[in-house]
Amino acid sequence: MAIVSIKGSDSANPSEPGINHFNSDSNASDTAFAMQAKIGLKGRIGKNLSLFAEYRYLSIDATSYTFGSTDYPGVHLPTTSWHVDMGRQQYNLFVAGLQYKF
């Protein structure tokens, strides 16, 4: 399981400069199924030194968020809360480095 959290979100419209449509609550989170697969290589190149490389694939199912309404009294008409759906997120991550053991 993954907990995906969005903090300090901003919904801007160029025709309304300075207005964040999520201003009454710009934070939201959701949980989703997540999976990862990884593979790596590690080789010793000295008594205390190793070289390694790793590839990781991470997939997180679709998530949904509800942000607060637009609340600018006297400046912008109030709105209801905003609901945002994000599709599946997929990441390809690579790491390589040297490891030294004391």
Average pLDDT estimate for 64-68: 94
Residue 21's Cβ-count burial label (10 Å; 0-12, 13-18, 19+) is: buried
C-alpha torsion 16→21→26→32, nearest 10: -120
Tell me the pLDDT band of 84, cut-offs 50, 70 and 90.
Answer: very high
Which tokens go with 34? 């997540």
Q: Sign of torsion, CA 28 31 37 41?
A: positive
The partner residues of 55 in beta bridges, in order of sequence, read 39, 94
Domain ranges of the chain: 2-100
Looking at residue 22, its pLDDT comes to 87
Tens-place pLDDT, residues 17-26:
888 888 889 9
